[in-house]
Amino acid sequence: MILLNDVLILTVAYMKEKSFIVYHSISIQFYFSMISKELFKPILNWPKDSKLPLCVACDVGGSGTYVRLSSFFDESQYIDLPKLKTQKASDLISALNTVSKELKSVAPTIECRGSSLSVAGPITEDTVVFTNWPGQYSNRTLSLSELPTDLFPKNRSKFLNDTESIAYGILAVNRLGTLDKYFEKLFSETSPDGPPVNDRRTAVVSVGTGLGCSLIVKTPLFNRKIVVPTELGHLELPIVGHRNANYQFERELVQHISNHWYEGELAIEFEDITSGKGLCNVYQFLVKKATGKVIPTETLDGAQIAQMAAEKEPLAYKALVIFNQMVIRAAKTISTTMNCDSVILASDNQADNYHIIKDNYSLMKNEFYSFIRPNWLNTITVFTQTKRMNFNLFGTSHIAHQLSKK
């Protein structure tokens, strides 16, 4: 028996005429195995052939895993299970085995025809080492062969880079014509017209446990948009010139972080500020600068700092302003370097922090347009997420359905 959440919420949904329609919801405070039959019963009404075919998508995050089961015949008909509490490989294996067991007890004829897992960490062949889980290497290493084969069939299952899955999810929602519900264009008074996903090249920047980036690209060689995962979040972070009023502050901040993590020898990367760990780095620096006290970063939590900022605690608020300013700097650096026409800032964290961008709009705008080649920025649009949406699940589910056609 495994506990999924304090409160279990199941959503069964389908999409019709480019809209989301939720037609069944269950909210019960119980253990997974005690209510699993109710969770899975809607699947019995899905289309069948000789089997009851479906696809499986998993979004494996730092604190837990979301699972989507969808009809093989209709990707828009799906069930999202409650969050599985997983922070090591054995947790995930155990949880998915339980899902498999309970699912088969309700629908013995189910057959998974394609599966995909969105993961954070380096992928080598069919093995991933999670970078957003704590603990030793062995606890963070997972191979596809360790997962239940009835949910993850051989040769039709795949690990997917988490920012890659977000980009695929954005494309999936964009095809429905509903992407504008989740994003707002920044600096619209000076930026060109255009949608979030343009017809040439779009950078998708995702802020979470780390800073991820994928490119959505369309070229004359393809008749469709493709997703290219990158490691651009690990670009070295540039600071302003010495005549800028913020030079001394930025130099001290960067040196503080370098001293803490790299013995003061190496330049820091964007992710050292624009991530959960990065927010802790900035807050630690501000507290030290204000009080002389050094709070160990391992005792800090990015989510708690963000909550303190929402409550207007001065140092936490300043830390989150700097954090978002550097997200904008990353957007500028990535979009100009990769010759993009648009950049999308996508994550639930981005949606939650939208109030910081609104409250410091002039600072963010000045950050984006301060560049040695300002005319380059006149052709780039910036969109930020303002409403929560798990794009990872949509993208991962799409790939699972593509694999099911092999």
* Number of other CB atoms surrounding residue 372 within 10 Å: 7
pLDDT for 137 = 92
Cα 335 to Cα 341: distance, rounded to the nearest angstrom: 7
Cα 36 to Cα 309: distance, rounded to the nearest angstrom: 39
Statement to judge: residues 343 and 258 lie in one domain: yes
User: CA torsion angle for 306, 308, 314, 318 (degrees, to 10)?
Assistant: 0
- Which residue, among 298, 291, 348, 347, has the nearest Cα to 314 in the 3D structure? 291
pLDDT for 125 = 84
Statement to judge: residues 280 and 323 lie in one domain: yes
Statement to judge: residues 35 and 132 lie in one domain: yes
349: in domain: yes
Statement to judge: residues 62 and 162 lie in one domain: yes
Angle value at C-alpha 158, between 156 and 163, nearest 5 degrees: 145
Question: pLDDT tens string for the chain (406 positions)?
Answer: 344 443 344 444 444 433 333 333 333 333 343 446 788 999 999 999 999 999 999 999 888 999 999 999 999 999 999 999 999 999 999 999 999 999 999 999 999 999 999 998 889 889 999 988 889 999 999 999 999 999 999 999 999 999 999 999 999 999 989 999 999 999 999 999 999 999 999 999 998 888 999 999 998 887 889 999 998 999 999 999 999 999 999 999 999 999 999 999 999 999 999 999 999 999 999 999 999 999 999 999 999 999 999 999 999 999 999 999 999 999 999 999 999 999 999 999 999 999 999 999 999 999 999 999 999 999 999 999 999 999 999 999 999 999 999 8
Are 68 and 114 contacting, i.e. CB atoms less than 8 angstroms apart? no
CATH number for 368: 3.40.367.20
189: in domain: no
129: in domain: yes
Place of tokens 């999670």: 130
Are 269 and 315 contacting, i.e. CB atoms less than 8 angstroms apart? no
Cα 54 to Cα 48: distance, rounded to the nearest angstrom: 9
Statement to judge: residues 340 and 205 lie in one domain: yes
Cα 290 to Cα 268: distance, rounded to the nearest angstrom: 22
Contacts of 122 (CB under 8 A, 6+ apart): 128, 129, 131
The number of folded domains in the chain is: 2
Point out which residues pair with 233 in neighbouring strands: none
Angle value at C-alpha 186, between 228 and 174, nearest 5 degrees: 45
Point out which residues pair with 124 in neighbouring strands: 127
CATH number for 118: 3.30.420.40
Kind of pairing between the strands at 20-28 and 141-143: unpaired
pLDDT for 36 = 60
- Which residue, among 394, 405, 400, 404, has the nearest Cα to 15 in the 3D structure? 394
Cα 395 to Cα 96: distance, rounded to the nearest angstrom: 20
Statement to judge: residues 246 and 113 lie in one domain: no
276: in domain: yes
Statement to judge: residues 246 and 99 lie in one domain: no
Provide the residue range defining the domain that includes 370: 201-385
Statement to judge: residues 158 and 222 lie in one domain: no
176: in domain: no
pLDDT for 264 = 97
- Residue 141: CA atoms inside 13 Å, Cβ hemisphere, count? 6
pLDDT for 34 = 40
What is the phi-psi region of residue 211: left when phi exceeds 0, alpha when psi lies from -120 to 50, beta otherwise?
beta
253: in domain: yes
186: in domain: no
Place of tokens 């119980």: 30
Statement to judge: residues 217 and 308 lie in one domain: yes
188: in domain: no
Statement to judge: residues 257 and 115 lie in one domain: no
pLDDT for 266 = 98
pLDDT for 33 = 39
Statement to judge: residues 269 and 144 lie in one domain: no
pLDDT tens, position by position, 315-364: 999 999 999 999 999 999 999 999 999 999 999 999 999 999 999 999 99
pLDDT for 352 = 94
Statement to judge: residues 95 and 215 lie in one domain: no
pLDDT tens, position by position, 39-80: 899 999 999 999 999 999 999 988 899 999 999 999 999 999
Contacts of 348 (CB under 8 A, 6+ apart): 208, 385, 388, 389, 390
Q: Which residues of 21-59 are buried (b: 16+ CB within 10 A; e: fewer)?
A: eeeeeeeeeeebeebbeebbebbeebebeeebbbbbbbb
pLDDT for 151 = 97
Contacts of 255 (CB under 8 A, 6+ apart): 264
